[in-house]
Amino acid sequence: MDEKAAVLAIDFQEAIARPRSAKDPRHGVLTASQAVIRQARLRSVPVIFTKTVSRSDRKGILTAVTDREKRQMSTTSVHWDFGEILPELGPATYDIVICKFQWSPFYATSLEMFLQRLEVNTLLLMGIPTNLAVESTARDAYDRNYHCIAVTDAMMGTTPEEHHFSMTYVYPRISRLMTSTAAIAWLAAKN
């Protein structure tokens, strides 16, 4: 099978991905992500960042009733501001940035148009959180018949337990699992 890859870096924004202490596991996620992104750029593999945004009038926000409490919105702001993409990751000049309003960047964005024009059929997925935005993206990609590679050390869940559950029970059904080292070797061999 001829695989044409792209890296899909999900929600590496200041409020989501910036480490908060010296022991924060996000440091490892960022190191792994930087290495894969660096290799992809060296191999001219497209790098696509997603950025969660919201409208100041709050139109389009999720209002579905759930059992688990959603994050509370700030009383000083009428919309979420997760900040810009971490500068240590990108975006670089030729990277693509997809602004999204929901967990999955396949929902009501130009992502699929870019993937089709670039003739991409394989996505290397990384981002935070493993069990929400990244998993939603993986599920939507799988439903659209994209091959997915979950870069396991370039992700972090909302909790370690949720990350472990997704990696053990969900991702193996909809993707291949690789460490960043294996993904770098895969990129080198494919391109």
How far apart CA 123 and CA 148 sit, in angstroms, is: 5
Percent of all residues in the chain with a pLDDT value above 70, rounded to a whole number: 86
- The number of distinct structural domains making up the chain is 1
Which residues are within 8 A (CB) of 116 and not within 5 positions of it... i.e. 6 or more apart?
none
CATH code (residue 151): 3.40.50.850
Q: Please check the confidence at residue 52 and state whether its pLDDT lies above 50.
A: yes
C-alpha to C-alpha distance for 87 and 67, rounded to whole angstroms? 36
Residue type, 137: T
User: Looking at residue 10, what DSSP letter applies?
Assistant: E
**Residue 143 confidence (pLDDT) above 90:** yes
What pLDDT, on the 0 to 100 scale, is given for residue 80?
Answer: 56
pLDDT tens digit sequence for 9-48: 999 998 889 999 999 999 999 999 999 999 999 999 999 9
Q: What is the pLDDT of residues 72-124, one digit of tens each?
A: 444 444 445 688 999 999 899 999 999 998 889 998 899 999 999 999 999 99
Q: Give the end-to-end CA distance of the chain in Å, rounded to a whole number.
A: 14
- Asked if 11 and 156 touch (Cβ cutoff 8 Å), the reply is no
- Find tokens 């148009």 and name the residue: 113
Helical packing angle, 26-42 and 180-190, nearest 10°: 10
Residue 168 structural domain: 5-190
Q: Please give the Cα distance from 124 to 147 (Å, whole number).
A: 9
Within 10 A of 118 (CB to CB), how many other CB atoms are there? 15
pTM of the predicted model as reported, rounded to 2 decimal places: 0.89
